[in-house]
A and B are shown apart, each in its own frame.
Chain A
Amino acid sequence: MFHWLEKHPFFFAVGVFLVIAFAGLVEILPNFAQAAQPVVGTKPYTVLEMAGREVYIKNSCNACHSQLIRPFKAETDRYGHYSLSGEYAYDRPFLWGSKRTGPDLHRVGNYRTTDWHENHMKDPAGVVPGSVMPAYAWMFTNLADIDTAYADQLTNAQFFSVPYNKPVPMKDGSTVTVKMANSVAEANAMALAEAKAITADMKDKDVQDMVAAGKIPEIVALIAYLNCLK
Chain B
Amino acid sequence: MENRPLEYDYTVAKMFMFTTVLLGFVGMLIGVILAAELAFPGVNTILGGLGLNEFTNFSRLRPLHTDAVIFGFTLSGIWATWYYVGQRVLKVSMAESKVLMFLGKLHFWLYLIGVVAVVVSLFAGITTSKEYAEFEWPIDIAIVVVWVLWGLGIFGLIGIRRERSLYISVWYYIASFLGIAMLYLFNNMEIPTMLATSPAGETGIGAWYHSISMYSGTNDALVQWWYGHNAVAFGFTVPIVAMIYYFLPKESGQAVYSYKLSLLSFWGLMFVYLWAGGHHLLFSTVPDWMQTMGSVFSVVLILPSWGSAINMLLTMKGEWQQVATSPLIKFMILASTFYMFSTLEGPIQAIKSVNAIAHFTDWIIGHVHDGVLGWVGFMIMSALFHMAPRVFKRELYSKSLMAAQFWIQTLGVVLYFTSMWIAGITQGMMWRAHDEYGNLAYSFIDTVTALHPYYTIRAVGGALYLVGFLMFAWNIYKTMTAGRRVEESELQNASPMAA
Residues of A within 8 A of B (CB): 2-3, 6-7, 9, 12-13, 16-17, 19-24, 27-28, 31-32, 35-36, 57-64, 66, 68, 70-75, 77-78, 83-103, 125, 128-138, 145, 147-152, 154-160, 181-184, 186-187
* Residue contact A150 to B198, C-beta cutoff 8 Å: yes
Known: A60-B129, A155-B212. 14 other contacts (CB 8 A): A12-B171, A16-B270, A20-B179, A20-B273, A36-B216, A60-B60, A89-B217, A93-B129, A130-B448, A134-B41, A148-B205, A151-B207, A158-B197, A182-B199
Nearest CB in chain B: distance from A171 CB, A: 18
Nearest CB in chain A: distance from B170 CB, A: 8
* Residue contact A70 to B356, C-beta cutoff 8 Å: yes
Give Cα A35 to B197, complex, Å.
Answer: 27
Chain B residues within an 8 Å CB radius of A57:
127-129
* Residue contact B431 to A99, C-beta cutoff 8 Å: no
Give Cα A13 to B151, complex, Å.
Answer: 11
Q: Label chain B's interface by main secondary structure.
A: helix
* Residue contact B216 to A154, C-beta cutoff 8 Å: no
- Can you list 22 residue pairs at the A/B interface with Cβ under 8 Å? A12-B166, A20-B273, A23-B271, A27-B294, A60-B129, A72-B356, A86-B217, A87-B217, A88-B221, A92-B215, A92-B216, A132-B37, A134-B37, A148-B193, A148-B205, A152-B212, A154-B198, A155-B196, A156-B212, A158-B196, A160-B216, A183-B200
Interface presence of B285 (CB below 8 A): yes
Nearest CB in chain B: distance from A131 CB, A: 6
Known contacts: A70-B283, A72-B283, A93-B212. The answer to whether A100 contacts B205 by CB under 8 A is no
Give Cα A69 to B274, complex, Å.
Answer: 26
Give Cα A28 to B191, complex, Å.
Answer: 20
Interface presence of B222 (CB below 8 A): yes
Nearest CB in chain A: distance from B216 CB, A: 5
Chain A residues within an 8 Å CB radius of B199:
182-183
* Residue contact A27 to B275, C-beta cutoff 8 Å: yes
Known contacts: A58-B125, A60-B59, A85-B218. The answer to whether A151 contacts B444 by CB under 8 A is no
Chain B residues within an 8 Å CB radius of A23:
271, 274-275, 297
Sort A-B residue pairs by CB-CB distance and give the 8 closest, nearest first: A88-B217, A148-B206, A23-B274, A154-B196, A183-B200, A134-B44, A58-B125, A85-B285
Known contacts: A20-B178, A36-B217, A62-B129. The answer to whether A151 contacts B293 by CB under 8 A is no
Please tell me which stretch of B4-12, B50-58, B410-418 contacts chain A, meaning at least 4 of its Cβ atoms lie within 8 angstroms of it. B50-58
Known contacts: A6-B165, A21-B182, A134-B41. The answer to whether A35 contacts B219 by CB under 8 A is yes
* Residue contact A145 to B200, C-beta cutoff 8 Å: no
Chain B residues within an 8 Å CB radius of A135:
44-45, 53
Nearest CB in chain B: distance from A162 CB, A: 9
Known contacts: A27-B290, A94-B224, A95-B129. The answer to whether A132 contacts B275 by CB under 8 A is no
Q: Select the residue from A35, A62, A89, A147 with max chain B CB neighbours within 10 A.
A: A35
Interface presence of B117 (CB below 8 A): no
Instruction: Flag B195-236 by CB within 8 Å of A: 1 or 0 each.
Output: 111111010011100101111111111111010000000000
Which residue of the partner chain A has the closest CB to B360?
A: A100
* Residue contact B58 to A181, C-beta cutoff 8 Å: no
Give Cα A34 to B294, complex, Å.
Answer: 20
Give Cα A29 to B195, complex, Å.
Answer: 27
Chain B residues within an 8 Å CB radius of A156:
212
Chain A residues within an 8 Å CB radius of B196:
151, 154-155, 157-159
Known contacts: A89-B216, A99-B365, A130-B449. The answer to whether A151 contacts B274 by CB under 8 A is no
* Residue contact B220 to A92, C-beta cutoff 8 Å: yes
Give Cα A12 to B130, complex, Å.
Answer: 32
Give Cα A177 to B46, complex, Å.
Answer: 46
Partner of A19, one of B271, B356, B359, B365: B271
Interface presence of B432 (CB below 8 A): yes
Chain A residues within an 8 Å CB radius of B95:
none
Chain A residues within an 8 Å CB radius of B213:
92-94
* Residue contact A98 to B158, C-beta cutoff 8 Å: no
Partner of B226, one of A24, A59, A136, A181: A24
Nearest CB in chain B: distance from A86 CB, A: 8
Within 8 A of A (CB), among B434-486: 434, 439-440, 444-445, 448-449, 455
Which residue of the partner chain B has the closest CB to A88?
A: B217
